Amino acid sequence: MDDNWLITETTFDPQQLHRQETVFTIGNGYLGTRGAFEEGLPEARPATLVNGVYDAVPVAFTELANAPNWLPLAISINGERFGLERGQLLHYRRTLNLRTGVLSREVRWRSPRGHTVDLSWARFASLADPHLLALRCHVTPLDFDGEIELRAALDGHVDNRGYVHWDTIAQGGADNRIWLHSRTRASRIDLAEVATLIVQAGEATNISSTDCSGCPTLVARGRLRQGQTMVADKLVTLYTSREDAAPNQAAERHLDRLSAAGQGYAELQAAHQIEWEKYWAISDIFIEGDDQAQRAIRFSIFQLLAAAPRDDTRVSIPAKALSSFAYFGHVFWDTEIYMLPFFIYTQPRLAHNLLMYRYHTLPAARRKASAGGYPGAQYAWESADTGDEVTPVWVPHRKDGSPVRIWTGDQAIHITADVAYGAWHYWRTTGDDDWMVDYGAEIVLETARFWESRVKWNACWARYEISRVMGPDEYHHTENNNAYTNGMARWHLKTARETLGWLQNTRPTLADQLVARLDLTPARLARWEAISEQLHIFQDPSSGVIEQCENFFALKDIDLGTYEPRQQSMQVLLGIEGANTQQVLKQPDVLLLLYLLSDEYDQRAKKANWDYYAPRTDHTFGSSLGPAIHAILACELGMPDAAYTHFRRAAQADLMDVRGNADDGLHAASAGGLWQAIVFGFGGLKVTPVGWSATARLPSHWRRLSFHFYHRGKLETVDLTPEQDPQHRGKAGRPERGDETQDAQMGSKRQSGLADNRRLVQRRMSR
Ligand code: BGC
């Protein structure tokens, strides 16, 4: 196996325990499981998060409830319990195989009494069968004959950072099975896990069950001779009442079906791997000349694919994916602006699911708008199962517990335009008109109505304005006329009018219905036009520099160099209000606008704003959302070294823990940003409805970059080397007869085209 598919750890470092649990997270879009060990450790933070299983929590309203732990498999040899905290560790290697989605570990361990044993584990959350979790363990005594005991449990004693969400409803064990049926305390979601243990080898292996409260356990005991190997497979099925009214029966039946069909660990893993292969065939990026970058992008793609809902359009991808408790499993703009493009271009069916989440949460967005006194719909800054606002308003300060005001829920209103931007981006790239007609147009138009009354007319200056907001740079709150917010609102109102015009041309009856339902009168549309022309952005006409918000340039200027070296964010060093009064940015704000609305700004403006804002941005400890965007702009501005420096920061967010907070969970937005940095930055991909082009802007040591993407239903390939003519071009977007259409891609014609491309990718990868 090519090392560039493997994330490997060769020493066990207890100091890095939580960070590595994050890195070794596995998932299948239905759930994610952190890389905690099967045998447990006192300080471990095991977590399995099933998307959509939210339960009430103080302060943050609701959070993904850590599901009963399916991992426990304790091993004792001759009465001594194996654990990394005791005995002697003679060999250790843990590997996440990104290609197959299997996490494995090998250990040689000497017990305190001197018995040496080889142990290995492999686990996966099946991508072929979302309700199946599987774990295999090998035990080989090296210098003794003796008794091996395995205890495989379903552990209901789980919490989220001390907060308990579950009551046990029923549990039990019989006939080599155990089951645990739990219910969330407030949201009353039922979750059932059923497990079986299949043991091969070992004399007189017998399996019984014990029923410790909240933790049913299967116990297998057998004797092994020196050099003999015991193989134990733990298969777990998991359902919730979100999919089945009787999840306990569903989980039982599922396990019955597997055993009736003779599906053991090996067959189940094979099916899981085949499914991963299908995703990789389209989504992989191939980089020659930079192994670290190669591994980092595959890791990012893996984690995005592992978190993306497959069969559920009522959930999205939380900011920390399904990897930890931070941000409570809430969904932010991270999804639409940072992660969604990867899906739009390589897995449009999954992009569609993510956007449907926003469609289903439109009623909550209407409630938020109406609570603020506005018509239309306003998306929540932090969103969960219903889509209602779940941003905490006050949180206790990390150090002294004093209350800290969180402004984003009230002020980060740009998310409403960000969601519309995501919907439009999907439509423009995929050409999925049916989706736009049935769902997207309503999102774009209903949310446009919010902006219409959120703006205020300033008669003195004869312009529209938006006051009291927070832009992407969250070091500043209560800004007036934040450039990003105003720019995106302008874009949104303009796009809404164009979308309606398109709808009226293509589906007049539906357009009429929407016009009547949303009250899109000519006067309203005229007002949208006026606002999009007169909503103010402060831009110096001579230099092209845009002022981040009104009076930003009057704030105290800062030289970040004078704070180096530092290990903390500028907000920690200056304090929340201190940072608010200085020209220091957490993450790109104006620069993000210039990236998203790239066609509206020329190179001169981009360069001028780069020169102003990049040096004032807290790249190292600000936000992980920033580096990828800086990398793309630096590519565009012909600054390859700066581009690569920023790219590496994004690439290392989790794998090297550059910010020291990977223990809190994956940086999913950064993972999506990394994909964009490669494809749109180094690959220079530009897509319009009528065609596409790619331009090699490779870092000097990259010898090749190739990737696939879908453009209006047609799978395209970009293969760039530094020497060749740097430009690739694609012709007009509408697929020709015989090409895969978007519809066909979602339907039956799909197979043949993809299979060909798959072969192509496999050839490429096997070089
Ligand atoms: C960033 C936000 C982001 C959130 C969740 C914050 O630190 O500033 O832009 O949405 O994290 O990832």
Contact 555, 443 (CB under 8 A): no
Identify whether 137 is part of a domain: yes
**In terms of residue numbers, what domain contains 198?**
3-253
Q: Which of 474, 636, 716, 740 is catalytic?
A: 474
Question: Could you tell me how far CA 50 lies from the centroid of its own chain?
Answer: 14
Segments of the chain with pLDDT less than 70: 1, 204, 723-728, 731-767
Binding site membership of 334 for ligand 1 (Cβ less than 6 Å):
yes
Binding site membership of 636 for ligand 1 (Cβ less than 6 Å):
no
Binding site membership of 580 for ligand 1 (Cβ less than 6 Å):
no
Residue 210 and residue 317 in one domain? no
Residue 324 and residue 180 in one domain? no
Last residue of a domain, one of 205, 238, 253: 253
Contact 705, 682 (CB under 8 A): yes
pLDDT at 739: 35
pLDDT at 724: 63
Binding site membership of 669 for ligand 1 (Cβ less than 6 Å):
yes
Mutate which of 325, 334, 475 for ligand 1? The one with the most ligand atoms within 8 Å of its CB, which is 334
Residue 356 and residue 214 in one domain? no
Give the closest residue to 240 by CA, choosing from 384, 64, 47: 64
Identify whether 237 is part of a domain: yes
CA 453/CA 549 separation, integer angstroms: 20
Residue 328 and residue 432 in one domain? yes
Contacts of 175 (CB under 8 A, 6+ apart): none
Residue 156 and residue 297 in one domain? no
Residue 229 and residue 338 in one domain? no
Identify whether 687 is part of a domain: yes
pLDDT at 104: 98
- Which is the closest atom of ligand 1 to the Cα of 334? 10
Identify whether 595 is part of a domain: no
Amino acid at 244: D
CA 691/CA 753 separation, integer angstroms: 20
Identify whether 417 is part of a domain: yes
Residue 311 and residue 241 in one domain? no
Residue 246 and residue 318 in one domain? no
Binding site membership of 668 for ligand 1 (Cβ less than 6 Å):
no
Binding site membership of 658 for ligand 1 (Cβ less than 6 Å):
no
The CA distances from residue 644 to 480, 629, 638, 699, in Å, are: 34, 12, 11, 7
Distance 353 CA to ligand 1 centre (A): 22
Residue 315 and residue 458 in one domain? yes
Residue 401 and residue 456 in one domain? yes
> Which CATH number goes with the domain that contains 421?
1.50.10.10
pLDDT at 689: 78
What domain count does the chain have? 2
Residue 740 and residue 682 in one domain? yes
What would the two tokens of residue 162 be? 């001390």
Atom 12 (ligand 1): residue with closest C-alpha? 319
Identify whether 767 is part of a domain: no
Contact 605, 654 (CB under 8 A): no
- Which is the closest atom of ligand 1 to the Cα of 586? 8
Active site residue 474: yes
What would the two tokens of residue 132 be? 């199946």
Identify whether 173 is part of a domain: yes
Give the closest residue to 378 by CA, choosing from 361, 366, 390: 366
> Which CATH number goes with the domain that contains 87?
2.70.98.40
Contacts of 396 (CB under 8 A, 6+ apart): 402, 403, 404
Identify whether 764 is part of a domain: no
CA 130/CA 126 separation, integer angstroms: 6
Contacts of 705 (CB under 8 A, 6+ apart): 285, 286, 287, 288, 678, 682, 683, 696, 698, 718, 719, 720, 721
Distance 237 CA to ligand 1 centre (A): 34
- What angle (nearest 5°) sits at the alpha carbon of residue 304, between those of residues 302 and 310? 105
Residue 227 and residue 321 in one domain? no
Among all chains, which residue has been given the structure tokens 């308990």? Answer: 164
